[in-house]
Amino acid sequence: MSSINPHLVPYDQRLPFELWEACWSHVSFKDAKSLSLTCKLFRRTCMPQIFESMSFFAPIVSALTEQELGPPCDLKADNQATLLSIQNRLHAQISLFDQLAATETSEIRAMVKHWTFSGNETLYQGEAVDNQMHSQAFVSLLKTYTHIYDAFFNHLPHYPTLHHLSLVGIQVDDRVIDLLTTLPSLKDLHLFYCHFICEAVHHLKLRSLDIEEGDVFMVLDDHRPHTAAAFQFFCRGTLERLAVRAERWVGMVISPPYVLEMRPLTHLALKLSASTAAQNEFLRFLLQCPNLQSLTVQSVWVDMQCEAPPLASLQTYDGPMNLAKILLPRTAVQTVCLRHFKLGHFDRPLDHPKLSSALASLSFMAQSLRCLRIIPIHQPTRRVFDLIAELFPNISNLELEFENRSQVNLFGPRDIMEVMEAMEVASLSAASLSVASISAASPLSVLLDQMSTGMCVLPHAIQQLELRCHQYNVITTTPIRIPTEMQQRMVLGLSKNNPTLRRVAMGEIWMLIGDVWIQG
């Protein structure tokens, strides 16, 4: 990049935004001078709007495993070398923070809107390092990590225009939140695998809050007073987008003390427990969200009789099929994704009878629905396409995931050797399976052949179709790879009776077949 002379680049030939954004994300800054020169180059050779969407990622601290470290008090030579290498990387990151704080890099800091910092809670022990319990190399590494941890948060006030911050694997305590309250432009906060030990009540005027992962990692310290107060740091009536994927935190969000703070919400994503009490509380919570436009619910929904909350503004729904029957009848929703959840995989996938019942109950959306996703469909047949085309003729975007299941029932009355063999097959780490490995008599194979021969009819307004297939082997799922030749036959077959079809996605590489772009 240093060979580019910005004075020789005419204004109308400046590089496009996407290219500069890609270049920026791969720039390696060695010193403050190169930072300043890069900043000037960007200002002269790219459009001003690039600075509004710039993302800058802090260096990521690699996670340490027990295998890397070995016994804390008796490290082998190769483990000591590993620790030294990690420590050197940490020192380089500390140096980068110092360089960014220099006066001559103020232009860089003015551009930065997004920042991601990935920490390592295993290494963060503050002053509680026991020199007698760990080797000298490990103690030195812990102190270096504490240094970079402190350096990062001390460095944040240098970015007055920072509006999006992602924190990964750190301890969120009162000091961290107090610091975040000093950032005037901070609107979006993403917390991933963080540990909360706040005692005081904090008030950030956030627009978006995203708390990810399960309660195993998102642990509130029960030995501290006022544990519930930790969640109040965002509750001041400004939040528009909220995503909480930790059941214990969800219980706090939908509880009465916080409900009134949620009225401005337009986008909500929650991971709910499969209990009648929690889900009834959730439905009552929705009564206080009149402006909700997008709802994502990750849960095994309990069937129950209840009154649907009014969600007149809802446009996007992603969640269980039986919850959709409750929430969507009084909406003008345009995008619907129907799922079944359980422990990371879908239990009771949607076979044809369940799918027919679900789609028939949603037929009131025939005029408004534009995008439909169904994940997954078990034992799919051509009738799936016929039913969707009949009920939802105005759909322009359709995404379907088909599932082919192993015939071995791991949990039934089986011979122990057969069970062990099934588990061994299920644990194979193949990246994908070929369609050729599936029985030709299976419903999935029959359906793919019917697509190739033009027997499947799509909604008359369809423009984009996305198909995914996977094999479910007792405890694992493996993507099924569709060969390019078969994809071409499928696209040609589908386009026979569907003249509006313009894009079919089945893989990663784009091709143009007739008038249809295929991603395969």
Q: Are 249 and 271 in contact (CB under 8 A)?
A: no
CA atoms within 13 A on the CB side of 20: 21
**Mean of pLDDT values over 215-244:** 55
pLDDT digits (tens, 9 = 90+) for 399-423: 998 887 654 343 343 443 444 454 4
In a domain, 415, yes or no: yes
Percent of the chain with pLDDT over 70: 61
Res 233: pLDDT: 55
Other CB atoms closer than 10 Å to residue 509's CB: what's the count? 10
Query: What is the rounded CA–CA span in Å between residue 125 and residue 142?
Result: 7
Q: Residues with Cβ < 8 Å from 10, sequence gap 6 or more?
A: none
- Output DSSP code: residue 220: B
> Which range has the worst mean pLDDT, 42-56, 370-384, 386-400?
42-56
pLDDT digits (tens, 9 = 90+) for 156-177: 888 888 888 988 878 888 888 8
In a domain, 419, yes or no: yes
CA atoms within 13 A on the CB side of 19: 9
In a domain, 141, yes or no: no
Q: Counting beta carbons within 10 angstroms of the beta carbon of residue 340, is it exposed (0 to 12), middle (13 to 18) or buried (19 or more)?
A: buried
Four-CA torsion 116, 121, 124, 125, nearest 10 degrees = 160
> Which range has the worst mean pLDDT, 123-127, 183-187, 447-451?
123-127
Res 377: pLDDT: 81
Query: What is the rounded CA–CA span in Å between residue 113 and residue 164?
Result: 6
> 476: which 2 tokens?
């694992």
* pTM for the predicted model, two decimal places: 0.74
Q: Are 384 and 355 in contact (CB under 8 A)?
A: yes
Res 297: pLDDT: 92
Q: What is the mean pLDDT of the chain?
A: 71
pLDDT digits (tens, 9 = 90+) for 363-382: 888 888 999 998 878 778 88
Residue 132 vs residue 506, higher pLDDT: 506
Other CB atoms closer than 10 Å to residue 475's CB: what's the count? 12
Supply φ then ψ for residue 349, to 5 degrees. Answer: -60, 160
> Which range has the worst mean pLDDT, 120-134, 310-324, 492-506?
120-134
> 441: which 2 tokens?
């008599």
In a domain, 508, yes or no: yes
Q: How many domains does the chain have?
A: 1
CA atoms within 13 A on the CB side of 233: 25
Query: What is the rounded CA–CA span in Å between residue 208 and residue 242?
Result: 6
In a domain, 509, yes or no: yes
Residue 391 vs residue 515, higher pLDDT: 391
**Mean of pLDDT values over 323-336:** 88
| Residue 359 one-letter amino acid | L
| Residue 73 one-letter amino acid | C
Query: What is the rounded CA–CA span in Å between residue 169 and residue 124?
Result: 10
CA geometry: angle 377, 380, 382, nearest 5 deg: 130
- In the three-class reduction of DSSP (H, G, I as helix; E, B as strand; rest coil), residue 110 is classed as helix
Q: Are 362 and 320 in contact (CB under 8 A)?
A: no
CA distances to 48, 320, 334, 376, 414 from 337, in Å: 37, 8, 10, 10, 36
Q: Are 234 and 207 in contact (CB under 8 A)?
A: no
Residue 453 is part of which domain span?
334-520
Res 168: pLDDT: 82
> 40: which 2 tokens?
């000037």
In a domain, 465, yes or no: yes
Query: What is the rounded CA–CA span in Å between residue 462 and residue 394?
Result: 7
